[in-house]
Structure 1
């Protein structure tokens, strides 16, 4: 998986595709301001590694390919322990890029961050994490549905990172 997302554009492609639900290379090229042939090449590479897949039945003609993420849960950690370093690296890169972009206002548009602590038991923190995930997935599906119903409305892909972990010692 790390190899499939090693290129920075492929990681951005994945996030945009996950937010949209499905997209053609031309849609993704427009949003990412990149050449369609370059986007198509990266999409095929990502499909080779099982990160995305063709959304069969959604193309309007035989030449068109519509893509979707292979998992409805995003880049969920693989239970295979040998894949853990790849997931850690993907998460590390995403977190650094997101924080850098946020702090430098690298892209115009809405920016928001929270730094809120909660005091919870082990059972409560699991319940809290599940609720946060449900909320984000609900908004992900809502955005996908709205985009499908009204593809002409201009939308921006926002990346949300939520880290729930014990307060660091220093």
Structure 2
């Protein structure tokens, strides 16, 4: 873990991301979104090898309920850590780094978790996230077929939020 660092992904990281984590179309799409200013792709690197990632969605939410109820609130999406690197605090470091990206823009962050994924609920609760509302929100899950076409599958998520107070000058020193 001492060699793992979190960095913003760059265009030329695509081959190493795909070699280590697969998902070529996902990473190409997120890098394009980042290039267009719609988000930030953060990568956990063990020396120079990607071992995890999270995307900070800065564009307007696609779901009407989120656009209306959490207007302007960035979303954390697609947190992942490679299986053999889990349990080492990398996911926590990715979330904290993503929160710092958000903190510079907004005082709140949101994310969605499957209502059945109790492990991730506990993970986020430990980091200070709380339910935005009890009812799940209709969202979608993105995937790509073998020809690289984007597929959107209906999904339900419980939305969690966290308030991010600004860092004090004293705390930053």
Structure 1 and Structure 2 fold alike (TM over 0.5): no
Where is the strand percentage greater, Structure 1 or Structure 2? 2
Q: Which has the higher contact order (CA 8 A, sep 6+)?
A: 1
TM-score (norm 1): 0.30
Where is the helix percentage greater, Structure 1 or Structure 2? 1
TM-score (norm 2): 0.30
